Structures are given as C-alpha cells and as structure tokens.
Structure 1
Amino acid sequence: MTDRTPNDRQPLVEPAPCPRPQRRQILLGASLAGLLQACGGGGGGGEAPVPPPSPTPAPPAPTPPAPTPPAPTPPAPTPPAPSPGSAPFWASYGGNAQHQAQTRIATQPLQRIVWSTPVDLAPPYRAGGFLLIHYGTPVISGGNTVLVPVKTTSAGDFEVQARKASDGSLLWTLKSDYLLPASSWTPSWNIGLDIKGRLFAPAAGGRLLIRDGVDSASGTVQTLAFYGNASFEADSASYRDKLRINTPLTLDGQGTVFFGFTTKAGAPGGLKGGIVRMAADGQALWKSAAELSGDAAMFQTAMNAAPALSLDEKTLYIAVNSDPAISSMQTGYLLALDASTLTLKAKQRLINPATDLPARLSDSATASPTVGPDGDVFYGVLENTRTDHNGRGWLLHFNADLSQLKTPGSFGWDDTPSIVPAGAVPSYAGASSYLLLVKYNNYYGIGSGDGQNKMAVLDPQASQTDPINASVTVMKEVLTIVGPTADADTPGGVREWCVNTAVIDVKGQSALVNNEDGVLYRWDFVNNRFSESVKLNAGIGQAYTPTVAGPDGLVYSINGAQLHAVGR
C-alpha cells in the first residue's frame, strides 16, 4: 500500500496490506490523499504452490495490561552471537545494529498461533477499515523474555510489556510518557536492548527510560535526558512539546545508544532535529541534521529510519531529510559519521537513478540503512515522480565510505533489506557471499504496475536490466515469488506483501514474511515455494510490519494490531 501527499502525487507511506481499487478511492478522498495498491515484482520467478494455511486455533485471550510497574527499585566481520541470559537475542529493529535480520537458530514449524497479545489497545482504524500506524518491533532478551512495545490509548500512550516466550504470560510493564511526532501515518515507538540486556525505551522530551533486569519481575528504572535531567526539569513543558525522538534505537556492543530526534520551532536550548549518541554512562553528544549535512534545509533524522553501525562499529549511518511542512517533496542525504564523535566522514545526496533528480525520503516510510557483511550500505528511497517506477522506489547501494554509488535494487519503498547468506539459496551460482531479501511489489494502478506482487532475493554484486524501466541497470534477481492470494478487486493481481523487515532463518534456508491476506508464510529458498503458512486474521489494510525470531525458534509476526507467536 502506498500513500501520497496532495501536492506531490507520489506514494509515501509504508503500510502493509494494500487497498483494493475501491478502498483506494475511499482513501484518496481522505487526508492521506492517495493510498495506492502496492506490491508486485518484475522479472523472473513464478508462482509457487502454497500449502493451505494451518488451521488457526483461537489464541489465548491476551493478558490485560498490568497496573503501573513496581516502583523502580561490535563486531567484525559479523556481529557476535549473544550469550543466553545476558546479551539480547533480538536487540532492536532489524535484529542488530546492522539491521541484517537473521537468526542462526532454526525456527519452529509454522503450525499454530502459540499465543497472541495486542500491540495496540485502541487501534486507530480509518475509513474502510485501514490501520495506518507503524508498530514498533518486539525485542527478545538472551533469557527469552519478549519485550513488546504497546500503544495503550487512542491518545497515543505507551508501555513496554515483558512476556514469557513460552506462553505469553505477563512478567511486568513499564509505562512511558512518550509523545509521538507529527506525521500523516502514526510513527513507530521502538525499544532496544543493550549488550548487558538493559531495556531502553523513548520517553517524552527526547529522554530515555532504562530498565535493568528485564528477565525479572522487578528492576531498577532510570530516566536520562541527553541534554541533562536538570535542563528537562527546569523547562519540562517546553521539552515535552518541542522535542521528540523520531527513530528506532540502535545500540552498539559497549552499551552506547544512537537515536534521531525532531524539534519544533523554539525548542529549548536552540535544539534542532538531528542525531544523539548516549554512552553507557549517560554522557551524550548530539548534532543537528542541518549542521552535519551542510544543508540548512535538512530538518531531522528521517522519521522511523533506524541508525545503522558499520561492522567494526566505528561508523554510524543515518538518513536526514527536509521538513514536510515546507517542502512538497521531502529529500535528503545518507550520512556516514564517526560513531565516537558524530563528526561527518562522508555524505551522499540520495538520487533517483532513473532521473538523476533527488529521491523522496518520506516521513511515512520505515526504510532504514542495512550494512552488509562486506560493509556495503543499502537504503530504500522513493522515486521523485510516482510513475517513474510504479511507486516501487529504489534500493540505493553504496560502499562503506559512501564514495561509490553501486548498482541499485529495483524496489526500495518502505523496506529494510535482510541479509541472506549465499549458501542459504542452493540454486545460486554467483560470486557474492550474501544476497538481499526485499519486498518486490508492483503496485496496481501506478504507472505500468500490474498488481503481481512478489518477494525477491537479489544479488547485490550482479546486474540486469530493470524490469520496469529498461534505461536503468539494477541488481540481478536470484529468486522471485508471486503472492499466493488473488485480489478479487485488482484484475490479475494478488494481495500485497506487507513487511518492512523480515527475519531470515539461516539454517532453515527460508524467510518468514507477512502478507496482506492475513497469513504468515515461510518462503523456502531451496524449492522456491511457500512451504508453511498460518492464518493470523482475515486480512487487513495496514502499515508494513516486521517479523522476528526468538532463541527457542518461535516466530513473531505483527498483523492487525496483534503480536502473534507462531510455532509448533
């Protein structure tokens, strides 16, 4: 599903299920001005046989929200595997600081919903039944406690619920006074775990809540403001109103946390939207997007775009973009910063490869940089006019120091690519040591989009002619697979793939992906087919959602404002 602003006629939001034509027309008349259908792919790969979804048992009734919690009483060449009970298993958005979204523990067979719990106690359904909100990813401790970010009221209040992976029972809750930044679609509220297993959660005024002992019913909680707690206390109303965290949290191997923030005019201390580095001892650095980019039009770290770290954790990659209230089309840069000092090392203006004009960096997307095992950096953007590429956008590709623009991928809209080891795809005979899993939707009704919505595995080191725009050379398709469920309202089309980051089961040589039809699928790379599936709901138009895996092999999927734990 895509979204457009009234002024620039181009998709801009991320949601998962795409609306059918009739539903799109309803949305076109709404303030979003243009959710268009989405998903489809170009190029090879055929429709694979799909097993019928496993019968869905009635999931246990979700545990009601608990009362206020008890009184507060790096890696190279690849990130190190966490040890049970200490370092996290799934630390943050995309799994780790490079957003590679891998598990090396085989996931359980997709046979049933083991347990389910709401991630939103007051889902903001819109006309036509759409749920246009980005939900934060659950994170999982080394002790297999599942930490779930939950919206608790229609006003946007939040809490973290800690649940046992075995049955979903509630261990504790931690309430936050976090306030959402403004956006056409509700932004995500994401949490993170550091190397010691401490929980970090955004709070109002750009502060962080930090809780120790996440596997225990009680733990010490502290609140830190990067600009100083005393400053917050001296002008708390202004900080709450004019300063808000607007990205997921990214943590390094030393317990340092990185996050973006946005500001309103007149923010205290002259603060301008940018990036924060807070060390494990609470000492912080911050710099504005305008200062770092050298461009006064840069307003903030891009909304929902998680910072990423290089494999040696010495370089921080962030996207910055312009103010949607000023520019009809948000544009921006990818920046490489010294991770210790936030000094600029390199920058690249993000460009549409089909037109050589600035690409769109929409506040409605959740695309975040991914760092590959060789240090290359991948980041998804939108085209500058919607018919250029059927609203698919592009996956831009750079070397580690951003000095070289490499072959782009043919899809980038609201997608963070996952890393697939080449050995997980037995049919692959190329030279690359890793491949990329991406959404590959071909949005019906935009340009030449035909609604043949696909997932794809791409080779970042090989190329082919783009299936949509023959003037552009793109990453080579290794595998593609068409969605299995026909869309009765889209002639010849299928329901949309609805993921923003998807977990790769390395041992199982597969990916776990959500679909607009309400089903969680296992895409088997060995036979290029959907080998397992579980029906989560009847299908709903919603913002794109993540899949996650735990140390016991359970798979977690957000669909219809519910977190589902799926396994045997």
Structure 2
Amino acid sequence: MKNTQPNNLNETEIDSKLVNLKNQRRSKLLFTSVLTLCAAAIVVACGGSGSSSAPSNGGSTGGTNPGGGTSTGTGNGNTTVVGPPWLSFGGNPQHEAVTTVATQSFGKIAWQTPVDLAPQYSSQGYLLVHYGSPVITAKNTVILPVKTSAGLSYRFEARDGATGDLIWSETSDYVMPSHRWTPTYNVTIAPNNKVYAAGAGGKVLYRDDADAKNGTTKSIVFYGDTAYNANKTALDAAIIINTPITADVNNNVYFGFTATPGNPAGLVSGVARIGSDGKTSWVSTAAITGNTNISKVATNSAIAVSRDGKTIYVVANNNFLANTRQTGSLLALDSGTLALKSSVQLIDPLEKGPANVSDDSTASPLVGPDGDVYIGVLEKSYGTHNARGWLLHFNADLSQSKTPGSFGWDDTPSIVPASIVPSYKGASTYLLMVKYNNYERAGSGDGMNQIAIIDPHTEETDKLSTVKVMKEVLTMLGPTPDPAVPGGFIEWCVNTAAVDPFTKSVIVNSEDGNLYRWDLTTNKLTEKIRLTSGLGESYTPTAVGPDGKVYAINNAVVFAVGK
C-alpha cells in the first residue's frame, strides 16, 4: 500500500538513507582497515575474494545434472555421526538458533572458503549482499550456498567440517530476483538428511543424502514437471523462489515464490509445499487473504513452523515498487493444506500505522518455546525510531498483539534459556537475544550500537519513545570505536546469532572484522578472533557444527573457527 504521509520518505530514499548510515563512516574505517590488513597480514584481502584451505572443485562427474553441473572433490564423504545438525537459517524450523552441543573455543581459523567468487562493492566499499547460512549435517558435512559470478549465478557445495575439503558441488540454474540489495540464496537440510536448494523456474534441487560424495542431484517442480517442461524458458524467467526453503520435523518443505503475471503455468505469487511423500501444492497469498495489497511472500523471509508442526508462519507483503513503502501481514497457514488459519497486519507500535515490511530485510518469524511468534519490521516513517524498527510479538494464533521489542530491522531474534543468564531474576523461562544498534544518522541515534538480551514478557518504557517495550536484561556495546562517529561504536553484524547454553554465551559477528563470544554470566566479551580487517556489509548469520566449530561470514568468506 502506498504511503500517503507527506513527510514519509519513499522507498528509494529509505534505501539511500539506510546505506548512508554505514557508508558515511566507511572511508575512514576502510583506510584504517587497509593499514590493519597490511600490518597484521590478515588472511583475507580487502577485495573480499579470500583464500581457502580447501581444494578447488574436482573434475569427476557424479549423478544427474538438472542444475547445471555436479562435481566431486577430494573429500571422501562423511559416514560417522558426530553430533546434532544445524539444519537451516536459525538452526531449526522455529529459527531458535540454539546449539545443542558446546561450542569450541576460538583457538584458530580451522579453514575458510569464499561464499562469493565475485563480490560487488559499492563505490564506498560497502557489500550489499545477504549471504545464506551454512547448514551442517550430523556427520559434519558443511553445505554452503556460493555466489559464483557478478551476474548472480550460484552453486551449493559440501565440505568436510573437520578439514574444509570439498566433498561435492552442484551448480544451480537459479535466477535471482532483481533487487537493489542482493537477496539471500539458501540451502536447507531436512531431518532425513535430504538437502534442498532453489533452482530456476520454481523447481527445487535436492540430494537424498547430503553427506554422500557421489550422490545424485534431482529436481521437483511444485506445479508439475509437465507444465514446467512445456514452457521451460518462459517459466525460468517468470517463477522465482524468493525465500529460504524451510523443512519441518516430518520432512515436508515450504517456501515462497513470485510469479510474473500471465506466465504460461497460470501461477500467482504465493506459498508452495512439497510433502515428504513428494506430493506438491501451492496457494496464492492474495487469494487466501482476499487482500490484493498482500501480493507475495516477503523476499528473504524464511517460513517458520509451529512447535507441533500444524502451522506455518509466513510474512507477506506487497511488491517492491519505486517510491512506495512495502507493508504487510503475518499469516498463519495450515501446514498440510496451506489454508489460511489467521492473519494480522504488521503495525508500527509508535505511529499506529502499517510498518515497513521491506524486501531489503532478512527478518524471519521466530516461534518461541511457548508458541509465541516474533517478527522484525521497520518503522512506518523512516527515522521515527532511529531506523531500528520494532520486534512485533503475537500469541500462537495471532489473535493477540503483545509487548514489542525495541529493535527489529533485518534481525531474527535467538532464544536464550533464562537459566543461562544468572543475573536474571524474572519469571520468564526464556529470553531473546537481538541486535540493538542505534544508527547515528537516523533520528536522534548516537552510534552506541549494542546487542541485547531482552525479556519478552516484561515491559519497560522505550528509551527512544513512549512505547512500552520488552525489558532489557543485558546489553553489550560494540567494542570498537567508530572513527567517523565521535563517541560511537562500529555495528554488530548479525541477522541471527547462535546461542550456546553449555558455555552460557552468544556467538556474534561484528563489522570490525572480529567474531566474539558474549559471556552471559559475566556480561563480558570473553573471546574474540580476527576474521578480516572489517567491512560494512549486509548482516550475516552465525552457526554451529556438530563438533562445536563455529561458522561466521565476513567479507564474502565463511570461516570455520575452533580447533
């Protein structure tokens, strides 16, 4: 719905402002980073291409090739279970981002490899690309989405978590949706160890065994192979999977897609399901909501699944158009039939109007242990909350809006068991870990960029407005002064952060080029390891392997940190 407020910035202006929040301070930071790089011999160059201890793709061919080319590497394929897997963005279908194995100490960078072979930087050195989360099998196979060219071509590759050696690689024919910030290309592992990735024309590529070196890559089209094969060229351009794929505990998968009007298959943008039995279905978001302003699933926003598996939560918005504000709703759909169970419009709690549900964001629904649902949005009018947005909060059937959080922009909160925060004396059984930046050139932001632990069931008055928000339990200021913002600190660089209950800590990435461990018992940063010389970039995830290695992305490279 077009924003009619005369004092509201249009979408292009908002994008420029959001970029400038970082870019206006980057020239000094990048100069400092170059000096740091040269002096300390950092392992990744400022150009972002990096180097890898893993070998390049092998030349032997394995399996069929619907995506464009399968390669096997020197790795043998993993056969022994090591520990619990990390299946998706946020680790599981609820996106909790809680590891069930203790993380290793930050002893060294065990291995590293690029996730972008042709990173495209802005004129001021900013990297406007959202990179997909590493996913890791129980046998310690790390599967990575990799951008292979400036033209947005992709592959997904499997590497041995112990060594980084390449096990297999598959080229995808996926066509990335056109957008100002490069959207996310993700891979997902189902509990049955099938790995899924998007292909062109709405088809889904998959391998039955994510660990097998010589496995076969197959494909399935949610609207039917016959319809796709009859008009392949036209449908490759018209139908685009625009969200990460989510798998539930019963091995059903879900995703959003966009469809160009008048396409040969007669599809309308919406939600698709591929059952564990191979049966497929889809629904149009506009049709099931009866709202023509809800035209598609929000780009980059991963569908979440309720804890009982009966409901999926989908963020839907209107198409991106220049000079408009994207608005939207949170939908609860029946996980089997995709019928609409309930919906709620996403409203700015300060301005009392439609919040900005931006395709620039990767914010995805989080389902809490009690079934409550959380989703981050931007404010209705740019800058009214220092471009922090809001974390909206609902009960499971979306009939009740609850206390919001004071930050929501491009962030999916992580679950923090209350028992791992000794200083917490409240009644909640779980807390939330969120990014908590305070952007220095939006509203009255001061550049005091933080991360925070907040209580979703206790409220206090927001420090930036009159809104009652989730109470702060702990906060951690960025440790590195920002040379371009007097008194300010460089941003935390996460869109989902791994929580480790065993060490009572959070693993979090920073734009200063370091990976940090935030100890929740002492409220101190107790470990850090330098990954790069630092770079302004789109926010990135952290993940944990079954052996406790930590994975973080910085400057177009994924780093495996541990022993």
**Same fold at TM > 0.5:** yes
| Residue 72 (structure 1) aligned with residue 64 (structure 2) | yes
| Conservation of the 8 A alpha-carbon contact between 1:57 and 1:113 | no
| Residue 417 (structure 1) aligned with residue 413 (structure 2) | yes
Which residue of structure 1 aligns with residue 302 of structure 2?
A: 306
Change (3 A) 1:14 1:337: farther
1:200-250 deviation line (CA, Å, top 9, x unaligned): 110000100110222121112211000011111100011101110000011
1:525-557 deviation line (CA, Å, top 9, x unaligned): 000010000000110111100000011000000
What secondary structure, in the 3-state scheme, does the structure 2 residue paired with 1:406 have?
Answer: coil
In 2, distance between residues paired with 1:282 and 1:496? 44
Give the C-alpha shift of residue 340 in structure 1. Answer: 0.6
Give the C-alpha shift of residue 265 in structure 1. Answer: 2.4
Give the C-alpha shift of residue 72 in structure 1. Answer: 3.0
How many residues get paired?
A: 526
Give the C-alpha shift of residue 24 in structure 1. Answer: 9.0
Counterpart selection for 1:21 from 20, 24, 36: 24
Which residue of structure 1 aligns with residue 35 of structure 2?
A: none
Give the C-alpha shift of residue 285 in structure 1. Answer: 1.2
| Conservation of the 8 A alpha-carbon contact between 1:454 and 1:482 | yes
Give the C-alpha shift of residue 315 in structure 1. Answer: 0.6
Change (3 A) 1:70 1:12: farther
Counterpart selection for 2:546 from 534, 551, 554: 551
Change (3 A) 1:217 1:178: same
Give the C-alpha shift of residue 56 in structure 1. Answer: 6.4
1:483-511 deviation line (CA, Å, top 9, x unaligned): 00000101110000110000001111000
Gapped runs of 5+ residues in structure 2? Answer: 1-7, 29-39, 45-50, 66-78
Change (3 A) 1:366 1:253: same
Which residue of structure 2 aligns with residue 369 of structure 1?
A: 365
1:4-27 deviation line (CA, Å, top 9, x unaligned): 985564359998x962525499xx
In 2, distance between residues paired with 1:18 and 1:101? 28
| Conservation of the 8 A alpha-carbon contact between 1:55 and 1:534 | no
Partner amino acid for 2:538? A
| Conservation of the 8 A alpha-carbon contact between 1:10 and 1:385 | no
TM-score normalised according to structure 1 size: 0.89
Counterpart selection for 2:314 from 312, 318, 323: 318
Which residue of structure 1 aligns with residue 461 of structure 2?
A: 465
In 2, distance between residues paired with 1:492 and 1:108? 34
In 1, distance between residues paired with 2:194 and 2:264? 29
Partner amino acid for 2:24? P
Counterpart selection for 2:99 from 103, 107, 111: 103
Change (3 A) 1:474 1:127: same
Partner amino acid for 1:555? V
Q: How does 1:36-51 map to 2 (within 5 A)?
A: none
Which residue of structure 2 aligns with residue 45 of structure 1?
A: none
In 2, distance between residues paired with 1:518 and 1:376? 34
| Residue 214 (structure 1) aligned with residue 218 (structure 2) | no
Partner amino acid for 1:514? N
Counterpart selection for 1:348 from 344, 350, 353: 344
Which residue of structure 2 aligns with residue 10 of structure 1?
A: 14
Change (3 A) 1:86 1:516: closer
In 2, distance between residues paired with 1:355 and 1:349? 14
Which residue of structure 1 aligns with residue 555 of structure 2?
A: 560
1:102-129 deviation line (CA, Å, top 9, x unaligned): 1021100012111000001111122111
1:251-286 deviation line (CA, Å, top 9, x unaligned): 011210000001222222321111011102221111
| Conservation of the 8 A alpha-carbon contact between 1:451 and 1:490 | yes
Counterpart selection for 1:481 from 476, 482, 491: 476
Q: How does 1:143-542 map to 2 (within 5 A)?
A: 143-325=139-321, 328-469=324-465, 471-542=466-537
In 1, distance between residues paired with 2:239 and 2:414? 31
TM-score normalised according to structure 2 size: 0.90
| Residue 128 (structure 1) aligned with residue 131 (structure 2) | no
In 2, distance between residues paired with 1:330 and 1:7? 8
Change (3 A) 1:87 1:281: farther
Give the C-alpha shift of residue 71 in structure 1. Answer: 2.5
In 1, distance between residues paired with 2:151 and 2:284? 29
| Conservation of the 8 A alpha-carbon contact between 2:42 and 2:533 | no
| Conservation of the 8 A alpha-carbon contact between 1:14 and 1:414 | no
1:30-60 deviation line (CA, Å, top 9, x unaligned): xxxxxxxxxxxxxxxxxxxxxxxx9967875
In 2, distance between residues paired with 1:117 and 1:207? 27
In 2, distance between residues paired with 1:565 and 1:120? 16
In 2, distance between residues paired with 1:297 and 1:265? 15
In 2, distance between residues paired with 1:325 and 1:69? 43
In 2, distance between residues paired with 1:88 and 1:299? 38
Change (3 A) 1:84 1:392: farther
Which residue of structure 2 aligns with residue 48 of structure 1?
A: none
In 2, distance between residues paired with 1:370 and 1:555? 22
In 2, distance between residues paired with 1:347 and 1:267? 28
What secondary structure, in the 3-state scheme, does the structure 2 residue paired with 1:407 have?
Answer: coil
1:420-452 deviation line (CA, Å, top 9, x unaligned): 000111110000000000000000010010000
Partner amino acid for 1:562? V
What secondary structure, in the 3-state scheme, does the structure 2 residue paired with 1:186 have?
Answer: coil
In 2, distance between residues paired with 1:237 and 1:525? 53
In 1, distance between residues paired with 2:507 and 2:560? 12
In 1, distance between residues paired with 2:82 and 2:547? 16
Which residue of structure 2 aligns with residue 63 of structure 1?
A: 55
In 1, distance between residues paired with 2:393 and 2:12? 25
What secondary structure, in the 3-state scheme, does the structure 1 residue paired with 2:167 have?
Answer: strand
Give the C-alpha shift of residue 288 in structure 1. Answer: 1.0
| Conservation of the 8 A alpha-carbon contact between 1:387 and 1:447 | yes
What secondary structure, in the 3-state scheme, does the structure 1 residue paired with 2:234 have?
Answer: helix
Give the C-alpha shift of residue 65 in structure 1. Answer: 3.5
What secondary structure, in the 3-state scheme, does the structure 1 residue paired with 2:561 have?
Answer: strand
Change (3 A) 1:138 1:541: same
Change (3 A) 1:199 1:393: same
What secondary structure, in the 3-state scheme, does the structure 2 residue paired with 1:383 have?
Answer: coil
Give the C-alpha shift of residue 182 in structure 1. Answer: 1.4
Change (3 A) 1:505 1:514: same
1:174-203 deviation line (CA, Å, top 9, x unaligned): 111000011110001111111110111100
Change (3 A) 1:343 1:112: same
Q: Percent identity?
A: 47
Gapped runs of 5+ residues in structure 1? Answer: 26-53, 74-82
